Amino acid sequence: MNQSQCIGKVYLVGAGPGDPGLITVKGKVLLEMADVVVYDALVSPEILAMINPQAEKIDAGKRRGRHSLLQSDTTKLLIKKARQHPIIVRLKGGDPFVFGRGGEEMEDLVAAGVAVEVVPGITSGIAAPAYAGIPVTHRNYSSSVTFITGHEAAGKYRPQVNWGAIAQSSETIVIYMGIHNLGQIIPQLKEGGLKGDTDIALIRWGTTPQQEELYGTLDDILYKVEAHNFEAPAIAIIGQVVQFKNQLGNEK
């Protein structure tokens, strides 16, 4: 199939981390103009309310234990809609290219001859810590930050993350989708050289009115997670920068 056989363009739009004020102006304009919007589970209701009332809205959301559409079905749907309509928005939480499978969707769409444009979004790995008063870098404490997924895909390009190497090479570690695997991740970080009293913050529903924060150390955070029944979706921030939580009065 060549490009001329498609009448539409697919826009891979980042919805941002949750706060509707953090979607880009371009992303908002595209939602208002869209003929079809295919959106993910973590996109806030306030952002969904920005969608053109005449647009077809399709929930392709994925959460732990629930998949509205398989990834392959989502891509096929986007290709089909691009043959029928001018403006298709694929609305993804955070940024499309940061643990959002946007790269995979772009590959498949381009291979099918579909025009694609990427509209970046603010990722939760920087936004949620910022709302908690935690800078992921700081000239006096952290000149490096690693963003990493704690939930790897089966059959991926390598068997597992080298957590020991991450522990030795980065002063701030931000883990996406890792709360259910902290019991396996933390021992590997400690084996890699991080001390048990290293600070860790868990932030749930970041940048929304429901934002919750849980603070501890690598030694005690698993007990606190259980005691507070702290669940996904959440990110983890590990390193000295977590100490800045007190400066905005957000300590819990």
pLDDT computed for residue 70 by the predictor: 74
Say whether both 184 and 222 belong to one domain: yes
Give residue 51's domain range: 3-119
Among the three residues 53, 86, 119, which one is the final residue of a domain in this structure?
119
DSSP state of 16: B
The residue annotated as part of the active site, out of 9, 62, 76, 224, is 62
User: Is 108 among the catalytic positions?
Assistant: no
Q: Are 30 and 107 in contact (CB under 8 A)?
A: no
Question: Could you tell me the maximum CA-CA distance found in the chain, to the nearest angstrom?
Answer: 59
pLDDT computed for residue 218 by the predictor: 98
How many domains does one find in the chain? 2
pLDDT in tens, the chain (252 residues): 444 466 899 999 999 999 999 999 999 999 999 999 999 988 999 999 999 999 999 998 755 444 556 788 899 999 999 999 999 999 999 999 999 889 999 999 999 999 999 999 999 999 999 999 999 999 999 999 999 998 765 444 454 789 999 999 999 999 999 899 999 999 999 999 999 999 999 999 999 999 999 999 999 999 999 999 999 989 999 999 999 986 765 544
Say whether both 132 and 158 belong to one domain: yes
The residue annotated as part of the active site, out of 92, 106, 177, 245, is 177
Say whether both 62 and 84 belong to one domain: yes
pLDDT computed for residue 81 by the predictor: 95
Sheet holding 87-92, edge to edge: 56-59, 36-39, 87-92, 9-14, 115-119
Say whether both 140 and 110 belong to one domain: no
User: Is 62 among the catalytic positions?
Assistant: yes
Say whether both 181 and 109 belong to one domain: no
Among the three residues 98, 119, 140, which one is the final residue of a domain in this structure?
119
pLDDT computed for residue 249 by the predictor: 56
Say whether both 156 and 65 belong to one domain: no
Among the three residues 119, 152, 175, which one is the final residue of a domain in this structure?
119
pLDDT computed for residue 201 by the predictor: 97
Q: What is the DSSP string of 105-163?
A: HHHHHHHTT-EEEEE----HHHHHHHHTT--S-BTTTBS-EEEEESSPPTT-SSS---H
pTM listed for this prediction: 0.88
Say whether both 144 and 207 belong to one domain: yes
Q: Are 174 and 148 in contact (CB under 8 A)?
A: yes
Domain of 81, CATH number, reads 3.40.1010.10
pLDDT computed for residue 73 by the predictor: 87
Question: Which residue has tokens 């234990």?
Answer: 65
The residue annotated as part of the active site, out of 19, 40, 108, 199, is 40
The CA distance from 197 to 106, in Å, is 42
Domain of 192, CATH number, reads 3.30.950.10
Say whether both 114 and 133 belong to one domain: no
User: Is 40 among the catalytic positions?
Assistant: yes
Category of 97 on φ-ψ map: left (φ > 0), alpha (ψ -120 to 50) or beta: alpha
Q: What is the DSSP string of 185-228?
A: HHHHHHHTT--TT-EEEEEESTTSTT-EEEEEETTTHHHHHHHH
